[in-house]
Structure 1
Amino acid sequence: MTQTSPIVALRGLRLARGERTILRDVDLLVEPGQVVAVLGPSGCGKSTLMAALTGELAPADGSVEVLGRPMPRGGRELLELRRGIGVLLQGNGLLTDLTVAENVALPLRTHTDLPDAVIRRLVEMKLHAVGLRAAADAYPRELSGGMARRVALARALALDPPLMIYDEPLTGLDPIASGVVMSLVRRLNDTLGLTSIVVTHHVHETLPVADRALVIANGRIVFAGTPAELEKSDDPFVQQFLRGAPDGPIAFDAAPRVAGAAA
């Protein structure tokens, strides 16, 4: 049997913003083909972890390996590695003066020398994959929230990245649109042979499509396992988060945030 390397390997990771440690003692392996949900309350450090996975934040201690390579500290090597990572931003990041098709084509025009005919065909394929081929000539302002999120997903997939990272993909979506987006995450992960990390606080919408789940609280990973194991866990951190209880071991973030604080 062929041994496959993890898509993501974090070992002894400590992440800090200035003098403040945000996450500590993080050990994580993400295997190829998995959908991994990274869960936790607002301010727990989920976005800080995502910044480490994309090379935006260097570790204070420990190591980050993505796609079988140590995370470069900058320069051309980091840009090259990032081409293998698709990121769906929380706010979509669509350019309002470009059509849907032009938004999806943007990474292809920026990072490749493909001819226009090939780019148009690839854009059609990506929009078809998210069910929006008919919306190619529309502008972002003409789309619903769920449609805009799917366009952003098509754009994130434009360069065929093996790793997808979703930053709070359900923010601002109604329950039906949330279900459509998460179903699409699972289907695209399987049909395109991706590996996906979903950073979110939407537990009940995300767990049904996840293979593994992590819960972050109070600066560390307090749970790692399958969704079934998570729902059966009697850990007080996990129970407080799943129930949304105001009282428990997870501290309420009552202090004013500073620039660059965790999210």
Structure 2
Amino acid sequence: MTQPSPIVALHGLRLTRGDRTILSDVELRVAPGEIVAVLGPSGCGKSTLLAALTGELPPAAGTVEVLGQPMPSGGRALLELRRRIGVLLQGNGLLTDLSVAENVALPLRTHTDLPDVLIRRLVDMKLHAVGLRAAADAYPRELSGGMARRVALARALALDPPLMIYDEPLTGLDPIASGVVMSLVRRLNDTLGLTSIVVTHHVHETLPIADRALVIANGGIVFAGTPAELERSDDAFVQQFLRGAPDGPIAFDAAPRAAGAVA
């Protein structure tokens, strides 16, 4: 049986910031319907990889294909592709002077010519999907952290993107809110037919809802497999990350501090 075309395909990818190589030799294929967790310690390059997936950072080498096409270098083609990628930012990015409903409606008003009555109906549907229809008239300052994250998720889904990217979706959330958000990610992925990439360092909250997991460390992918395979791995990089051990092959400091340097 013919395998479906991947939603995301990275081949021989090298990403740089200035003169410094952040990631190299990255290979990744994400199949339709998958939830892939991209895990790793702070500073390992997860955000750099996310920037490549959204076209913000062009590769120094290799290729990035998203939704069946090479990542455009800019212009209208890149804007059109970005409309088909939903991104949940770790800071939510909600506008404080707009109500919940107005925040969710913003992408629809910006990118479509739909009449107000239809926009209101779509906003109602998105808020219902995240369990917050009753909060439509509230303002971001009136919401808990978990509620604000769900509003941001509803807004990211406003244009019905086939691909969702979650950038540290659990930052600042308590354990209960974290469980609600991750369960919602899995449910929406399945019911809406999405494909999702979750970029996070929250291992134990993310693995239960993921189909596959990657671990990034020291400039590349050190593990790729199922969550069960990750738990069984005896790789030194993986074990240090899972245990949160300070000593091991994953360096805590990128380089020794020069004498007299200011902290």
Q: Determine if contact 1:90/1:171 at 8 Å carries over to the other structure.
A: yes
| Offset of residue 83 of structure 1 | 0.7
| Offset of residue 256 of structure 1 | 9.5
Determine the C-alpha separation between the residues in 2 that align with 1:100 and 1:107: 13
Q: Quick one: structure 1 residues 48 and 256, their matched pair in 2 at CA, closer, same or farther if it must change by over 3 Å? A: farther
Q: Deviations over 1:25-55 (max 9, x none)?
A: 0000000000000000000000000000000
> What is the match of residue 133 of structure 1?
133
Aligned pairs for 1:78-89 within 5 A: 78-89=78-89
Determine the C-alpha separation between the residues in 2 that align with 1:71 and 1:163: 14
Q: Deviations over 1:176-201 (max 9, x none)?
A: 00000000000000000000000000
Determine the C-alpha separation between the residues in 2 that align with 1:169 and 1:30: 19
Runs of 4+ in structure 1 over 6 Å off = none
**Letter aligned with residue 69 of structure 1:** Q
> What is the match of residue 34 of structure 2?
34
**Letter aligned with residue 247 of structure 2:** D
> What is the match of residue 53 of structure 1?
53
Q: Determine if contact 1:43/1:253 at 8 Å carries over to the other structure.
A: no
Determine the C-alpha separation between the residues in 2 that align with 1:66 and 1:22: 21
| Offset of residue 65 of structure 1 | 0.1
Aligned pairs for 1:83-98 within 5 A: 83-98=83-98
% identical aligned pairs: 90
| Offset of residue 3 of structure 1 | 3.5
Aligned pairs for 1:1-263 within 5 A: 1-253=1-253, 255=255
* Normalised TM-score (structure 1): 0.96
Determine the C-alpha separation between the residues in 2 that align with 1:111 and 1:255: 45
Q: Which secondary structure does the structure 2 equivalent of 1:155 belong to? A: helix
**Letter aligned with residue 179 of structure 1:** G
Q: Quick one: structure 1 residues 197 and 250, their matched pair in 2 at CA, closer, same or farther if it must change by over 3 Å? A: same
Number of positions where the alignment pairs a residue of Structure 1 with one of Structure 2:
257
| Offset of residue 4 of structure 1 | 1.3
| Offset of residue 255 of structure 1 | 5.0
**Letter aligned with residue 141 of structure 2:** R
Q: Deviations over 1:98-153 (max 9, x none)?
A: 00000000000000000000000000000000000000000000000000000000
